[in-house]
């Protein structure tokens, strides 16, 4: 962790540090190809993390922009978004789980110098994503209201957000493809393309959201349904851009006609890796669905405050996942290049950077939680619940920082089962029972849910650090 940025790879004039870092940022956003198995690890982390952080910050804008405009429609509209998002987290789990294995396999092939093999792996991932999208999207579109009812939503919430739920769940193909294609670019070491696809998608969403929600100009006033239409349109355009990049060969991976085929052996390896990644994320995100269900009896205002807080947390945390994704790419490529010690050093360095970032976010949430939640809703009970959630959950951020990086390091090495078992133990063996006990039995109400998150995530991070130190992940074959 004592490495310095390689001055030979940075401009020597002018000598001031701020200018050199500005040049590094420009290099990271330029889209030029770099060899991440050689040279300074600090520089490699920066070149990968800069576009990855921006990519995931932009992905989180979908959630923040939607809730900013929807909150103007009242607590029932916000609650309908919250319940739908809780269900969508299960689909996100599948998308992220597939993405983990895709990044690991593509990164390993790139590290080995096998670009054709990386392209074949990419095609198998896209095919798997489409199968999942059809299997879940059709029933989701047909039974959106029933999904909200099963989540414990009130009749008013179902009436307000039933169509929103149908569209968001039914059009999940664009969510899956957006995640998978960006995982391909990250594994290849081309995160700038992933970032640009999110820029495009968010730009469309930002323009369409208020137009379709409030009926600005020639657009119809669709209410909360307009948020679903705007988000789906934005993501669809982002996916189109990704496919164009893969076809033209803007990335290190170009999907040629020869690569567009089903390879049974590669598909089976990807399925095997994906099983761990999907199970890992389903276990984690299903616990959030359970927490939302535990929150439901405390009323629409409590659910709305919790929903707003989670959206703000997602906005703050996703850049940390960008740093963690950089570690996954470095681990995969360096293991492929036969450099496991360099892979390990990259994880420890990334963890330090992530800790510094999340400590700053903790300070912001503790000081300005009421102000942040107040930007989205003015109802005092909603603001009170949301602010309390931000503060309590942020107390564990210093540990979350390491838990994120360690999980992604295992995933980048192709060891998706270790984080899976850890999630099962600490989310369902600790977090959910603790939330129920503190909120319902001990009488702490929503505070019990918030404290259960902080405590379980802290224990999970400590366990992951110890397992990473043992080094068994270095011998995983992908």
13 Cβ neighbours under 8 A, 6+ residues apart: none
Q: DSSP letters along 396-434, please? A: THHHHHHHHHHHHHHHHTT--HHHHHHHIIIIIIIIHHH
Encoding tokens for residue 83?
């319940």
Long-range contacts for 462-466 (Cβ within 8 Å, ≥24 apart)? 462/399, 463/422, 463/425, 463/426, 464/402, 464/403, 464/406, 464/407, 464/410, 464/418, 464/419, 464/422, 465/402, 465/406
Q: Are 455 and 429 in contact (CB under 8 A)?
A: no
Q: What is the DSSP string of 3-65?
A: ----GGGS--SS--HHHHHHHHHHHHHS-----TTSS-HHHHHHHHHHHHHHHHHHHHHHHHH
Inter-residue contact 102 to 188 (CB < 8 Å): no
Rg for the chain (alpha carbons), in Å?
22
What does the alpha-carbon distance between residue 112 and residue 122 come to, in Å, rounded to a whole number?
A: 16
Query: How far is the C-alpha of 178 from the C-alpha of 155, rounded, in Å?
Result: 33
Residue 14 preceded by cis peptide, ω within 30: yes
Can you state the angle between helices 172-188 and 115-142, rounded to 10 degrees?
160
3-state secondary structure of 173: helix
Consecutive 10-residue runs of the chain (478 residues): their mean pLDDT? Answer: 43 58 73 79 85 75 75 83 80 82 89 87 90 87 86 83 89 89 89 87 89 91 91 93 86 81 86 83 81 84 85 79 87 88 93 93 92 85 90 90 92 89 92 92 88 93 93 79
DSSP state of 439: I
Tokens of 122: 């990419």
Q: Which residues are CB-contacts of 429 (< 8 A; sequence separation ≥ 6)?
A: none
Q: CA neighbours within 13 Å on the CB side: how many for 354?
A: 31
Query: What's the first-to-final CA gap in the chain, in angstroms?
Result: 27
**pLDDT at res. 12:** 46
- Contact of 45 with 330, CB cutoff 8 Å: yes
Nearest to 344 by CA among 447, 465, 457, 219: 465
pLDDT reported for residue 325? 86
Q: How many CB atoms lie within 10 A of CB 459?
A: 18
Q: What distance in Å separates the CA atoms of residue 290 and residue 147, rounded to the nearest whole number?
A: 14
For residue 435, the model assigns a pLDDT of 93
Convert 79-108 to b/e letters by CB count within 10 Å (16 or more is b): bbbbbbbbbbbbbbbbbbbbbbbbbbbbbb
Residue 333 CA to residue 340 CA, distance in Å, equals 10
What integer pLDDT is reported at residue 4 of this predicted model?
43
Per-residue pLDDT, 2: 42
CB-CB neighbours of 135 under 10 Å: 11
* Contact yes or no for 190/251 (Cβ under 8 A): yes
């Amino acid at each position: 962790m004592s490495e310095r940025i390689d001055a030979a790879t940075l401009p020597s004039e002018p000598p001031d540090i701020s200018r050199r870092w500005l040049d590094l940022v420009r290099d990271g956003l330029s889209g030029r190809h770099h060899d991440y198995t050689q040279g300074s690890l600090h520089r490699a982390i920066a070149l990968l993390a800069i576009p990855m952080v921006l990519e995931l910050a932009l992905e989180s804008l979908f959630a923040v922009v939607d809730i900013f405009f929807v909150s103007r429609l009242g607590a029932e509209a916000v609650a309908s978004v919250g319940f739908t998002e809780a269900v969508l987290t299960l689909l996100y789990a599948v998308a992220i789980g597939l993405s983990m294995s895709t990044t690991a396999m593509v990164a390993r092939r790139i590290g080995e110098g096998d670009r054709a093999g990386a392209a074949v792996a990419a095609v198998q991932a896209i095919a798997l994503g489409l199968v999942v999208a059809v299997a879940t999207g059709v029933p989701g579109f047909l039974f959106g209201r029933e999904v909200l009812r099963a989540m414990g939503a009130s009749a008013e919430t179902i009436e307000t957000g039933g169509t929103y739920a149908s569209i968001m769940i039914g059009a999940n193909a664009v969510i899956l493809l957006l995640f998978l294609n960006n995982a391909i670019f990250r594994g290849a070491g081309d995160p700038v393309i992933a970032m640009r696809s999110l820029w495009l998608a968010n730009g469309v969403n930002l323009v369409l959201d208020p137009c379709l929600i409030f009926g600005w100009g020639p657009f119809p006033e669709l209410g909360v349904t307009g948020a679903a239409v705007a988000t789906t349109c934005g993501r669809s355009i982002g996916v189109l851009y990704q496919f164009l990049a893969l076809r033209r060969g803007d990335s290190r991976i170009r999907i040629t006609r020869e690569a567009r085929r089903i390879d049974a052996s590669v598909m089976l390896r990807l399925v095997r890796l994906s099983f761990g990644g999907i199970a890992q994320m389903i276990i984690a995100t299903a616990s959030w669905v359970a927490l939302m269900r535990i929150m439901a009896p405390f009323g629409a205002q409590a659910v709305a405050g919790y929903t707003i807080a989670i959206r703000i947390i997602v906005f703050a945390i996703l850049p940390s996942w960008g740093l963690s994704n950089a570690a996954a790419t470095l681990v995969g490529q360096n293991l492929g290049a036969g450099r496991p010690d360099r892979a390990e050093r990259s994880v420890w360095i990334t963890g330090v950077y992530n800790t510094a970032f999340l400590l700053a976010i903790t300070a912001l949430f503790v000081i300005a939680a009421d102000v942040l939640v107040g930007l989205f809703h003015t109802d005092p009970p909603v603001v009170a619940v949301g602010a309390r959630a931000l503060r309590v959950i942020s107390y564990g951020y210093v540990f979350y920082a390491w838990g994120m990086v360690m999980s992604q390091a295992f995933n980048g090495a192709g060891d998706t089962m270790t984080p899976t078992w850890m999630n099962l133990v600490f989310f369902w063996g600790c977090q959910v029972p603790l939330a129920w006990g503190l909120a319902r039995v001990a009488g702490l109400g929503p505070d019990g849910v918030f404290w259960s998150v902080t405590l379980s995530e802290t224990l999970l991070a400590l366990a992951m650090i110890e397992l990473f130190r043992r080094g068994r992940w270095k011998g995983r074959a992908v």
